[in-house]
Every structure is written in structure tokens, then in C-alpha cells.
Structure 1
Amino acid sequence: MRISKRIASASPLATTAMHGRVDQMKLNGEEVIDFSIAISHFAAPESVRRDVADMALRQVLPYTAVGGAHGLRARLGEKLLAENGIDASPAEIIVTNGAKQALYEAMYAMTDPGDTIIVFRPYWPAYLATSRLLGLEVVLVDLPDVLARDVLDALPPARLLILNNPHNPTGKVFTRDELDVLEDWLARTGCGAIVDESYEKLLFDRTHHSLSGSAHWRKLGIVTLFSASQSYAMMGWRCGFAVGPAEVVSAMETLQGPITAAPSALTQAACEAAFFSDEPGHLVADYRARRDLLMDMLSPVKWMKVRSPESGPYIWVDVSALGCDTVQFAERLLAEKKVAIMPGDALGMPGFIRMGFISDDIATLRKGIAAIVAFGKQMSESGG
């Protein structure tokens, strides 16, 4: 059977592939600690589970408009105005099966094959995978400590810039001043932007600001993505939405129609319940305590350089002092210690590793981190 060239040259996401390997090992009876991905140990908010259960007992679950039920989009507009400073109409909002679908549709609608897009490194792997599927040219730029004018002015002309705020995997939260500089650059260059704000609620140290909080977001061509997956511990619910200029959202609906149409009525009920649940507080407090525990355990390790994340479910660690191939480091760690991590190579940065810290109980978290530290120490002392 002939497979198309555009998919034959693509590869599964390294992040999901590693998690799949761990699942298979567990099915085979092996005990594995999985830090390669972030799956919350919390359940979805009670209001989400209650509302969806109530709806599931109804006799009829109708189709809705392709972009989501009008009432839901109106409610999400209330959320955007109150929490993000984005004044958007229902026609400028589209409900999707998670942020990945919104990302693909926005990139499809805003670019043509051969266009150049800019992605900061380290990156969420879906940005590059989607770009390749769409035939785009990707310019990778190292994520700066501060997003300043000189950094942006050094960038080549591009159709689109993708920003992850809060950032996965570093945990950086961009300041209002940084976003103002970016807004000015977008206005001067005519480059559009997709801003992934999936971690907007997982804040430890800073206040989150939306780039589309600017009054000029429509003219600038900014699409912002939101997801309930991490902020509300709803990874398996596939619940997300996007806000953008009406003509872009209309184009996204045109693409969504023949692919999936609207998300299920149950997903839409979950979406509304989640974004109005006001429940992430206890979840964030737990994650902050876990982050602090990891910093206490990892900061003294001589072969690690680690910066405390300001947001998110991951910790990003520079292990280049070991002088080893980080893919091989991850493979050996999984084989010998039964601990899974994500090598930075999968996110564009060899010499680093990413570890999710929200999945297991604290005892398992301590055990897994201790195994990584001991393994690295062994490699350091043996010269790799």
C-alpha cells in the first residue's frame, strides 16, 4: 500500500512515543517511574464530573455548530475578558479537541507551504511536527532570558511566530514588558503570532499576561490557544479552545468541519464547567510544593544546572556537565533504573533533560529523583 510522501517523512512525537513505551513496559509487568510526561495525580474538578454525568443521562446529545455551541463560546468570551483582558465575540472563538487540534488548524489557516515560521528552542515538539506536516520552513531561536528588542530585531522575516507562555519546558512566564516589546515587533514586521497559553493557571511565582490582551490583537493577527488538560487536570478529556480574528476562526472551522466537526457535547459541557470551576488553587499549591522539593534535591547536585520554574508541571535540567549523549542517558536510565525522562534532544536542546513531577505520590517522586541522581553520579565518576 502506498503511503503519501507528506506522512511517510513524519515521525511520531518523541514525547508521546516515550510514554507509550513506558505503558508497554508496565503492561509487561515491569515497575517503571514515568517522568517523561506530566499526567496529574488529581482528578478533574468535581463540577466537571458532575455536569458531564448529568448530561450523559439525557436522552439526546445533539450536534452543535462546528466551532462549538454558541452559548459555550459566549461563556468563554466572558472568561477571556475577565481573566485575560481579551474582548472577543463568539465568532472569534472556536472550541476544539484539545490544544493540538487548535494549533494545527490555526497554522493551517495562517500559512502556506514554504512559509517561514519562528519557534523558540527548547520547544513543545508538536510545533515542529505540525510545521513539517504543513510544509513550513522553521527558524529555531534559542529562548532568551529576557525577550528584548535586539533579540527580535535579529530574527528573519517570517509569516508566523509561535510563543509558549507559560513556557514548556522551562517554566518561564513572560512579563508584560516582554509582551509589549513583542507586540511592537509584530506591528513593525507584519508577522502574525500563535500564543499557546495552555499552562495559564499553573503559576508559582509570577502573574500571567496574555499577548492578546492588547487592543490591537486582531490587526496584529494573534491567535491564542487554551487547554483544560494541565490547568484543570483533564488530560484525557481533550478539551481546548482558541481565540483569534474572525476570518482566521472561520477558516479554522472550515478545516474542523470535515475532520471532527464540533467536539462532543460532553466535551463541551466539560469545557464550560472547567473554565468556570475556580478549582486550580489546591492543585497549584501541591505542584508548588513538589517543585520546591525537587529544587532542594537537585540544586546541590554538581553535574546539574537547574533553575526553579515559574510555572508548569516540568523541571528543565542542564546535564551537559556529564559530557554524555542525553538520548543515551535516557535510554540507559530507563533500561537500568526503570525511570523514564525526556531527553532534551526531543525538544531541540541536547544536553538537557525534562522531568514531569506531578504524576506520582511524593514517595515515588523522591525515589525516582534519587535514582536519577545516583545514576548520573555513577556516570560522572566512571567518565560516562
Structure 2
Amino acid sequence: MHERVDLLKQRGEAVIDFSIAISHFPAPAPVRAAVRAALDEPLLPYTAVGGLPALRDGLARKLRAENGIDAQAQHVIVTNGAKQALYQTLYVMTDPGDAVIVMRPHWPAYVATAQLLGLRVELVDQPDVIDAAFLDGLPRAKVLVVNNPHNPTGRVYTPAELDAIRAWLRARGTACIVDESYEKLVFDGAHHSLAACPDWQALGIATIFSASQSYAMMGWRAGFACAPAAWIRAMEALQGPITAAVPALTQAAAAAAFAIGAVPDLLADYRARRDLVVDLFAPVPWIAVASPASGPYLWGDISALTLDTTAFAERLIEEYRVAIMPGEALGCPGFIRLGYIADDEATLRRGVAAIIALGDRMAAAGAAGREADPCRA
């Protein structure tokens, strides 16, 4: 969908893109300053495949101070964004044919990456509360994938839920990949890391981080993973022939970004936008949009209108030039995902108005069809 937006824009058409989250914020000033300083250096050499030693040390300090994860540099690898970290982590944790549990709705990359590696994906519906009863009912699998904070619902797991997952991992012997890319985009509550426990390495917990959304650095491709040292060595061996080290400029940007901590201005802006869009949808009878506790997305339930959200998304981009992500891509027909952080407020309002206009037309057509149906009871 995002590629279609780019093609339309190349043709000179105006398109509002809610299909992914593209921040209207610039990258933080310390990040841009760090890159300018790096460009003044006479050389930008290859670095160690896993990242500059100083950067890995700094990321390990961040993990200890902010996430409560007892990590050292040997537990960290710097990657080209979260997707590369996910691929390499899943690669070294599994063999083809192994089962991986993914809770839906899900970031599409979890399923696509598992399929690419020849893994068997076990899709389960994410419950309102993750507890022992839910976990005990899960199928046997090599790896459980957890997304906290969650894309697309914005859910933030509670300490009790994380405790339940740890207990289940100990009992089952299942490993876990935790995607914490949105850790700095929490509006309500607080973020806690699953690996913040003394036995995280024995449990086999790998944690993925990204600067893309938390620091408005989508195109910088700056991410990293924290995992047991043996897995990190294997990930380095894999990364070497794939891409070698992350570009030196990206590493300079990552060092500056992850040293910042939170970005209050960005978070306040996103919170205001979240509240605006939720309020705009509130009086619309055919859509339910909960106010998310975190993240750059809104998750809308339009099952009262249609379960074919792929068709809804197609009509929206063809007739109104507004792009959204249909729920089918995230495992849940009847839902739509909106990235609400791009462009200005006026554009945001126009995009929401277009979604409401299409839905109202479909609702009216459906009601007229029911009235005209001679077989209607």
C-alpha cells in the first residue's frame, strides 16, 4: 500500500498516507549533530560486524539503566533496523519446520519472516489479559513472539502479565523474542521489559529495539538486539555475509538517539493527535477506535460495516486517495490500522473525513439494499 502511495505521488497526485507511521517530526537535534560531526571525520571505515565497541557498550548501559536488563556489550548487536534484528534472531533460534507462536493482530513482518525461514506459524488471538490460563492453552512451539508495546493496538503489558510469561517460559522451555521498538512511545502507564529478570539468558529471551518510531528516524534504519552471548555471536556470523556492519553514519546516529531517553515534545504531539482522531471517530456508529496506551497507530474495528477491509482499503485509495492498512495484513479482517503521525493537522482531519465519508456511503448503501430485499424478514 505504501509503495502504491509513492507511485501515485510520483505521478503528481496528492495522497494521504495512513498505511504506515511516518513522523512529521525531524530526527532529534543531537542525532543530526552527531552525523554532521561524523561527516567531518577524514574516514568512515568499516566497523566490527556487530557494531562499534563504544556503541555496544553504550547500548548495554542503556539496557541496564532504562530497561533493567543485566546486559553487557557481548549481549548486543547493532542492526539495520528492527526487521534485520528480527530475521537474524529468529534464524539463530530455530530450524526449518519449528513452530513459532504469533499473537494477532500482529506486525506483518513476524509472519513473513517466519515463513521465509521455513517455520510453522501458530497464530493465536491475543486475549484481553495474558495469564497462566491463556498461556497454558498455547500450542507447543520453539519460540513465542511478544510485541510490547504492541503494534497495532497500542497495548502495554503489565508487570503481572510479564511475570506470567516468564513463568510459562520456565515451565515450557520455549524461547521468546520480544519486540520493544515502541518503548518510548507510551502515553498511559509504563513500559517494562520482559528480560528484566536475573535468568533472562537461561530463559532464552531476545529483545529487539529500533530508533525508527521512538526517535522519528524511519529512514535511518537504526536498530539493535539484546540476546544471550552465544546467539549474538551466531547473529554476527550471519550478518557478516548479509550486510556486514551497519553504516558508520547510522551507528553515529544510533549512539546519539539511544542516549537521549524519551522525547517529551514528540510524545506530547502524538498524544494530542491520538486524542483528536479518537474524538473524530467517536460519533461514527460503524467504527470503534479505542484510545491506545502507546504507539503511532490507531486500530479501528469496522466489522459492523464490513469484514472485507482489503476491499475497503482499495476503495479508499482509489476513490479518495487515502491509504490505510487493512486488517487482513495483520491477521484480523474487519479492522483497519491508521498511522496518524504524518503531515499536518489539517491533512490528518481530511484523511479521517475521507474514511468516514466512504464508510457512511457504504452504510447507507447497505441499509438501502436491506430495505429493497423482498426476502428480508
Q: In which range does the TM-score fall when normalised by the shorter chain?
A: over 0.9
* Match status 1:146 vs 2:129: yes
* 2:323 pairs with 1:319: no
Question: CA-to-partner distance for each residue in 1:197-247, whole Å, 9 max, x for gaps?
Answer: 000000110100000001110000000000000000000000000001001
Question: 3-state SS of the aligned residue for 1:226?
Answer: strand
Amino acid at match of 1:243: C
How far does residue 325 in structure 1 lie from its aligned partner after superposition? 1.3
Unaligned 5+ runs, structure 2: 368-377
Q: Could you tell me how far apart the structure 1 residues matched to 2:332 and 2:148 are?
A: 18
Q: In the alignment, is residue 184 of structure 1 matched against residue 171 of structure 2? A: no
Measure the CA separation in 1 of the matches of 2:255 and 2:197.
25
Match of 2:85 among 83, 95, 102: 102
| Equivalent of residue 270 in structure 1, options 224, 247, 253 | 253
Report if the CA contact (8 A) 2:307-2:333 is conserved: no
Q: How far apart, in 1, do the equivalents of 2:82 and 2:327 lie?
A: 22
- Is 1:374 matched with 2:374? no
Deviations 1:281-337 (A, max 9, x none): 100000000000011111221101121110000000000001351111100011111
After TM superposition, list the pairs within 5 Å mapping 1:23-172 onto structure 2.
23-172=6-155
Alpha-carbon separation, structure 2, partners of 1:93 and 1:348: 31
Q: Is the 8 A contact 1:19 1:34 kept in 2?
A: yes
RMSD of the TM alignment (CA)? Answer: 0.9
Give the total of aligned pairs. 367
- Structure 1 match to 2:194: 211
Give 3-state SS (helix, strand or coil) of 2:337's partner: strand
Deviations 1:258-285 (CA, angstroms, capped at 9, x unpaired): 1111101111110110011245110000
Is the Cα contact below 8 Å between 1:45 and 1:279 reproduced in 2? no
Contact 1:32 1:338 survives alignment (8 Å): yes
CA distance in 2: counterparts of 1:238 and 1:104, whole angstroms: 14
Partners of 2:282 and 2:175 lie apart in 1 by: 39
The aligned residue for residue 310 of structure 1 is 293
Query: Which residues of structure 1 form unaligned runs of 5+?
Result: 1-17
- For 1:275 and 1:177, locate their aligned partners in 2 and report how far apart those are by CA, in whole Å: 27
TM-score between both structures, scaled by the size of structure 2: 0.96
- Which whole-Å deviations, capped at 9, do the CAs of 1:347-368 have from their partners, x for residues lacking one? 1000000000000100000111
Moved over 3 A (4+): none
Letter in 1 for 2:152: P
Query: Equivalents in 2 of 1:89, 1:372: separation in Å?
Result: 48
Contact 2:61/2:72, CA 8 A, preserved across alignment:
no
1:289-300 matched pairs, under 5 angstroms: 289-300=272-283
Tell me which amino acid in the other structure corresponds to 2:8. Answer: M
Q: What one-letter code is carried by the residue in structure 2 that aligns with 1:238?
A: R
Inter-partner Cα distance in structure 2 for 1:246 and 1:65: 16
Matches within 5 A, 1:352-367: 352-367=335-350
TM-score calculated relative to the size of structure 1: 0.94
| Partner SS for 2:195 | helix
Cα separation, 2, equivalents of 1:325 and 1:183: 37
Measured in 1, the distance between the counterparts of 2:307 and 2:258 equals 43
- Partner Cα separation in structure 2 for residue 81 and residue 363 of structure 1: 41
